[in-house]
Amino acid sequence: MADNRHLFLQYLAQTSDDPYLLEIERAEGIYLYGPDGKAYVDLVSGVSVSNLGHGHPKILEAIRKQAGRYLHLHVYGELVQEPQVALAAALAEVLPETLSCTYFVNSGSEAVEGALKLARRHTGRQRTIAFRKAYHGSTLGALGLMGGEGYKNAFRPVPPGTSFLDFNDFGGLDEIDRSVAAVMMEPIQGEAGIVLPEKGFLEEIRRRCDTTGTLLVFDEVQTAFGRTGTMFAFEHWNVVPDVLVLAKALGGGMPLGAFIASPDIMKSLCSDPPLGHITTFGGHPVSCAAGLASLRALLGEGWIGQAAEKERLFREHLSHPSIREIRGMGLYLAVELGDADKAYRFLRLALSDGIVSDSFLFHETAFRVSPPLTITPQQILEVCKRLKGLLDRL
């Protein structure tokens, strides 16, 4: 194990100076297992990826079956590949009628890039509205939409043309005018510490987009596929976007992203120029097969309908003097400690005790509680007991 950690640091590019350095040998359900057999609770679902936990048998079987048929065949969009067609059709069945045409990519960042290009191409406009403390990915175009200046400064100049508003500030919505191609936003801000929209906020943005011909783009990379108690978070407010961005849980643990719109909007990428957006590996057949199995399991096994009750259990049993509040909905929760140093120490204590959680990019005083939707009530009670014991040690 020590050798692998050394090799990890020697040969793999690092994303920070402070990685977990936790080696995992296998994973099952809500647990990750180290080489020594120690079990770790995955309290963040691989950051909203493993909504059905690790090693779901139906997903694994779909991967095996598709791997035995074919892997990559050609660049995306040229050959008819059954796994892509089946998943796109299944997504259309659970989405509003205006969101029926899917463009598959590999990740959330790529889906954001594609949605941004689509909005510019369809409207003929260049301006974008985004929100402070929002996260949409790390590629250069997505970085231009990043709601934290500190993450952009080292990479400037970023693509111009984006104006930033404060989430839940109704007064700033006058910025949405006929020069704006797209409003890019999360219906629930994730990296801001899980901030819900105030009553009427999403509805007012939808109204202004309709008035000005601006495309409303919802980034549901973290919130989709049952995470908040509905298949898609926008269903809570009945506000339908013009373009929907998906990734993370979309692939059932395999790399997959997508941006989805109406056929009329999406055809803007087909001509002037043709191949205006292209990807080699987007919609990889194994990823699509896994995604379809995951979607069918979500629909058929009842996990989404259990999320609200599991949220209630966390709120009821995760009570401690150090906790100032719990924000969010479903199994997409931020536990607020009110102190960044305390939150950091707590996360390190949790890791040593066998619980994997995380902080937020733009909100360092809270930690995540977003386990797989498959977590059982008894496991929730056990996790809450352990978390409170760790808080006692701060």
Kindly state the average pLDDT of the residues 325-344. Answer: 98
In this structure, are strands 355-356 and 39-42 parallel, antiparallel, or unpaired?
parallel
Provide the token pair at 228. Answer: 């908040």
The average pLDDT across 167-191 equals: 98
pTM exceeds 0.85 for this model: yes
How far apart CA 198 and CA 209 sit, in angstroms, is 18
Q: Over 90: is that where the pLDDT of 66 sits?
A: yes
Q: How far apart are CA 272 and CA 317, in angstroms?
A: 57
Per-residue pLDDT averaged across 96-103, rounded? 98
Pairing of strands 180-185, 215-219: parallel
Peptide bond into 157 cis (omega under 30): yes
Checking if the pLDDT of 117 tops 50, the result is: yes
Beta strands in 157-256 (DSSP E): 162-165, 180-185, 215-219, 243-246
Q: What average pLDDT score do residues 355-372 get?
A: 97
CA distances from 292 to 116, 147, 234, 250, 384 (A): 26, 32, 21, 8, 33
Question: What's the pLDDT at 152?
Answer: 87
The mean pLDDT value for 93-122 works out to: 98
Q: Quick: pLDDT tens for 145-161.
A: 998 888 888 899 998 99
Range name among 4-18, 67-81, 253-267, 307-321 with the lowest pLDDT average: 4-18
Q: pLDDT band at 134, cuts 50/70/90?
A: very high
226-250 pLDDT, tens digit each: 999 999 999 999 999 999 999 999 9
Write down the residue that tokens 């100049």 correspond to: 157
Q: Above 90 in pLDDT, residue 290?
A: yes
| Overall residue count recorded for the chain in this entry | 394
Mean pLDDT is highest, among 8-17, 140-149, 203-212, for 203-212
- What pLDDT sits at residue 2? 55
Q: Which residues of 341-368 are buried (b: 16+ CB within 10 A; e: fewer)?
A: eebbebbebbbeeebbbebbbbbebbbb
- Residue 292, H or E segment: helix 285-301
Q: What is the model's pLDDT at position 1?
A: 46
**Position 310 confidence tier, pLDDT thresholds 50, 70, 90:** very high
Is residue 12's pLDDT more than 70? yes
Q: What angle do CA 8, 9, 13 make, to 5 degrees?
A: 90
Domains of the chain as residue ranges with CATH: 2-55+302-392 (3.90.1150.10), 58-300 (3.40.640.10)
